[in-house]
Structure 1
Amino acid sequence: MCKKVLVLSASPRRGGNSDILCAQFVRGARDEENEVEKIFLRDKKINYCTACYACRDRGKCVHQDDMAEILEMMIAADVIVMASPVYFYTLDAQMKTLIDRTVARYTEIRNKELYFIIAAADTSISMMQRTIECFRGFADCLDGAREKGVIYGVGAWNIGDIEGTKAMQEAYEMGKNV
């Protein structure tokens, strides 16, 4: 069955290690003829949530930026892949800003299969659990969300360090198996 897959790449570096892993996931998903859309968050204008909660009253955010379109895509997707480099054992600002801005419509992001991709210079997967817990905290707020896989791209500091690692094959295989 063909699924709608949305890949949210939060790497601030085009072709950064987490973005390279996204490309592998996309390749695997497309090889199985899934409909795949990748958003490179760096190319989008996403303002910070100001906690004004106008979205509660109006049903939409007061910010006029790219987040409304991204939210529509998140709601429409069957599968959401969230990828971030690890900064001080947590998500980067681009991903965290996106998560915060879902507040206007997060209750509509239901019954999604979720995959998480991280890339870090550290080689300790146990230390990466802190970052994954950030993703899981968001997932816990989504009705019917199901975590389907995690890709730990560890030991990757410089652009391209991730190439040739087992995370590359894992990303491809997870993409194929959505």
Structure 2
Amino acid sequence: MKKILIISSSPRKNGNSELLVKEFANGALEKGNQVETIYLREKQYSFCRGCLACQKIKHCVIDDDAVEIASKMHDSDIIVFATPVYYYSVSGQLKTMLDRANPLFGTDYKFNDIYILATAAENGTGTFDGVEKAIQGWVDCFERAKISGTVFAGGVNDINDIKGNEILKQAYELGKTV
């Protein structure tokens, strides 16, 4: 059994990204894994101040929800980042959380496998590239970590556009492989 943490960064409740998350989680749960999903829209967290105090004290000096989220990231076997594509990159909510996870750098974190779930209105070639690059930049700071799988659903803009889409099955199947 693996401990899986899903960080969902969509501001829309029950949106396309969230439906992708639910399918991935269902697949992972079917395999007997422990799954926790954090919805960043329900959390209060600020931007990183760049003070780097976290590198000395191993936690952030800003007392908000990002401290607990980073702690859960540290102790998870697998981290799944779910995001809508905003201007060919991750949502601002996810970027802020990635920055706030800086206290994990230089620690004996548990995670190795990182998965990405993304949705976008556009379905063109390259729509997902910026998302993957942004998350890969974060992953590259953690020697043992790697991106182990991705699911991209393009052409889904309005809530429920993703319903009935084969990509949901792909997310479910990927969840079963972890």
TM range (shorter): over 0.9
What residue number does 1:168 align with?
168
Aligned equivalents of 1:75, 1:82: Cα separation in 2: 14
What residue number does 2:24 align with?
25
Deviations 1:139-163 (A, max 9, x none): 1111211211110011000011111
Deviations 1:68-93 (A, max 9, x none): 21111111111110010001101111
Q: Is residue 2:156 matched to residue 1:156?
A: yes
Deviations 1:36-60 (A, max 9, x none): 0000011111110011222233332
What residue number does 1:86 align with?
85
Letter in 2 for 1:49: C
Aligned equivalents of 2:172, 2:11: Cα separation in 1: 22
Shift of 1:62: 1.2
Instruction: Answer whether contact 1:107 1:143 (CA < 8 A) is retained.
Output: no
What residue number does 1:113 align with?
113
Normalising by structure 1, we get a TM-score of 0.94
- The worse-fitting range, judged by mean Cα deviation, of 127-136 and 35-44 is 127-136
Aligned equivalents of 1:166, 1:38: Cα separation in 2: 22
How many residues align structurally? 177
Give the SS at the match of 1:12: coil
Letter in 1 for 2:17: S
Instruction: Answer whether contact 1:84 1:119 (CA < 8 A) is retained.
Output: yes
Give the SS at the match of 2:118: strand
Letter in 2 for 1:23: K
What residue number does 1:70 align with?
69
Counting aligned pairs with the same residue, the percent is 36
What residue number does 2:146 align with?
146
Aligned Cα RMSD in Å? 1.3
Q: Is residue 2:55 matched to residue 1:52?
A: no
Letter in 2 for 1:118: A
Instruction: Answer whether contact 2:78 2:111 (CA < 8 A) is retained.
Output: no
Deviations 1:16-48 (A, max 9, x none): 111110010011111111000000011111110
Give the SS at the match of 1:68: helix
Shift of 1:131: 1.6
Aligned equivalents of 2:6, 2:111: Cα separation in 1: 16
Following TM superposition, the consecutive aligned residue runs of length 4 or more in structure 1 with deviations greater than 6 angstroms are: none
Shift in CA distance, 78/125, structure 1 to aligned 2, threshold 3 Å: farther
- The worse-fitting range, judged by mean Cα deviation, of 108-117 and 46-55 is 108-117
Normalising by structure 2, we get a TM-score of 0.94
Instruction: Answer whether contact 2:54 2:61 (CA < 8 A) is retained.
Output: yes
What residue number does 2:94 align with?
95
Give the SS at the match of 1:6: strand
